[in-house]
Structures are given as structure tokens and as C-alpha cells.
Structure 1
Amino acid sequence: MKNILLLITLACLNLNSYSQDYSKLKDYEFSGDKIFKKSESQVLECTNYLLSNPTNKDELNRLNSMQFIMKWMEGTPDYTFNIGKKAMDLTKGNSDLLGLYLAAMTKTVLDNTNSKLNDDDIHENAKKLLVDYCSNPNNNIKPSKTIKKILKKKSKT
């Protein structure tokens, strides 16, 4: 009986240790250029979290992750992000879609650190990640008209 209780306790502790808590990121301050480079793995973890979980799951974690990514994007000396007409046309003023697009841009550059990507490369890869995310109905996000058209074309091929 003691062994069973011990196993149940260990299983619960193990499950709890895998739950993600991004609340510490809320007050994180980037101080100096070197800290941006050191933070890249955390930033990438946040992008992966946002792009692999539904929009209605752990909304506070999503918000903290998004804010952390945006702070990093604004200050990193290693990358420049162009959020232009293409991004606005794709997201059509939807802040949830724009946030996911920013996460996808960040994921693109951090997944391809050995490649020199131009703005078009970053946009196309981010667009693909966003469209793939929107194609999953379990993610609970309403795609823009532009994304719906892309999804419709994809389904015909």
C-alpha cells in the first residue's frame, strides 16, 4: 500500500514539474547586448509554446510569453524584424494573429541562425507557420480572410 501511495505521489510531482510557468518572464529585463544572445533559447521555447498550444490554453502564460518575445524582438542587436504591409494583410488587424506572426518570425530566425535570411524569407516561413497553426481547429483561432484563402488553396492541392 505504501508503495502505491509513493508511486502516485511521484507521478503527480512528475506531472507538475512538466507544466510550464512563464510568470517569471513578465518582469524580465534585458540589460545589455549579451543578455539577448543568452536569452535566445528561452525566447525559442516561448515561440514553440505559443505555436503548439491553443489560444485559449493558459492565457496568462501566453501573454507573458508574447510580451517576452516582443521585448526581445525590440532590443536584440542580432536581428531586425520588418513588420510591413505583408504582415498586416495576412493578419488583418487581429492582435492574436499578429502576435502569433511575430512569434513565427522569431522562431524562423532562431531556427535558422546559420542562414542569412532576408525579409521575404522570414515572412514566407512565418506565414507558413501561422497558416499551419490556423489550419488546426483545436487551436481555437479565427483565421483572417487572407489566411482562409490560403487554406482553401491548400485543401484543393
Structure 2
Amino acid sequence: MKKIFTLIIAAITFGLTAKAQTFHVPENYVLKEKGDYAKYEEDVIKGIDWLQDTPWALEEQKRMETSSFLLKWMQGSPSVSIEVNASVAKMTEKNPQLIMIFMGGYTKYALQNKTAFDKNKANLAGVKAAVDKYSLETDHKNNSLLNKLVKIDKEGKLRDWIASDFYKTK
């Protein structure tokens, strides 16, 4: 039994490490003109996925470089505009790494739904990404709102919370 458990842990660790190595931050990227942003959309999605899938304890330098690239892209992108409201601030206050996860989920939704963009669905994607990451990270700091959202998500009612409470949290 102990050997099986050890093999499972090794397989999971190898899988996470292999997946974590699949994204490379673009080198010498240029984000000055409108057209520059479209060139990097695929890299943006890959970077968002990499941050979501890579445990906080791994590859700190790459996480900082990836976050920096994504933040620069998000700040100047003509196609994505993210509003960080009080709910997002409350969700991320104790785990600041989650702000990039929220913005990543929002951005990924926006890029994949350009013609049928819906702000509530984009916020749902961002919140869901933050909830999932919070649940997976064992060294997260306890957050009462996220604990509540984990339960709401398990009940399949996260969309309802977005519609009723996301814009009201103070």
C-alpha cells in the first residue's frame, strides 16, 4: 500500500513538473501598438494556464516573469478590460497571488469569447479560477470568503453568487 501511494505521489509530481515546463515567457516581447497585443494572445492563454496549474512552491522566478508579462499585456490590451471590485479585493487580500489568477481566468474567458463576451461570465471564470487555485494550494492563507465560495462552487451555485452577490460585497 505504501509503495502504491509513493508511486501515485511521484506520478502526480512528475505530471505537474512536466506540465509546468511547457510554457516559456516570450523573450523581447513588444507591447506598444494595438496589433502587438494580438500576436501574444496564445502566449497569454498558455501563461494563464501555467500559473493556474503550477503550484506556488515551484518555479518562483518563472512565476514572477510570467505574471509580469501577463500584467503588462492585460494593462495595455485593447481587447480585454478587467474591473477589480471589492469582492475580488476581499478574495485576494490574504493570498495576493490569487489576483493574477482571477485576472487570468477573466482574460482567458474574454479571449476565448470575443464575439459573445459576457461580463458576468468573465467574472465567473475569474472567480472560478481563484476558487480552484485556492482549493489546490495547501499553503494558502485562510480566507472566509473563499472558504464560502468553495462550498458554493461544490453546490454548483457559483453562477448564482456572481449574479446576486459579486457586485455587492464590501
Q: TM-score, normalization: structure 2?
A: 0.70
Runs of 4+ with deviation above 4 angstroms: 153-157
Residue in 2 that maps onto 1:146: 145
> 2:35 matched to 1:34?
yes
Residue deviations 1:3-48 (CA, integer Å, cap 9, x gap): xxxxxxxxxxxxx9x93464554x5331211010111001111000
The whole-number CA distance in structure 1 between the counterparts of 2:79 and 2:26 is 24
- Where 2:81 maps in the other structure, the secondary structure is coil
5+ residue gaps, structure 2: 1-17, 157-170
Q: Looking at both structures, which has the greater relative contact order when contacts are Cα pairs under 8 Å and sequence separation is at least 6?
A: 1
Query: Partners of 1:21 and 1:151 in 2: how far apart?
Result: 28
Which structure has the larger Rg? 1
The alignment-based identity, stated in percent, is: 20
Segments of structure 1 that go 5 or more residues without pairing to the other structure are: 1-15
In 2: Cα distance, 1:121 partner to 1:85 partner: 17
Moved more, 84-93 or 30-39: 84-93
RMSD over aligned Cα atoms:
2.6
- Aligned 1:3-42 pairs, distance under 5 A: 19-20=21-22, 22=24, 24-25=26-27, 28-42=29-43
Q: Deviation at 1:74?
A: 0.7
CA contact (8 A) 1:66 1:103 kept: no
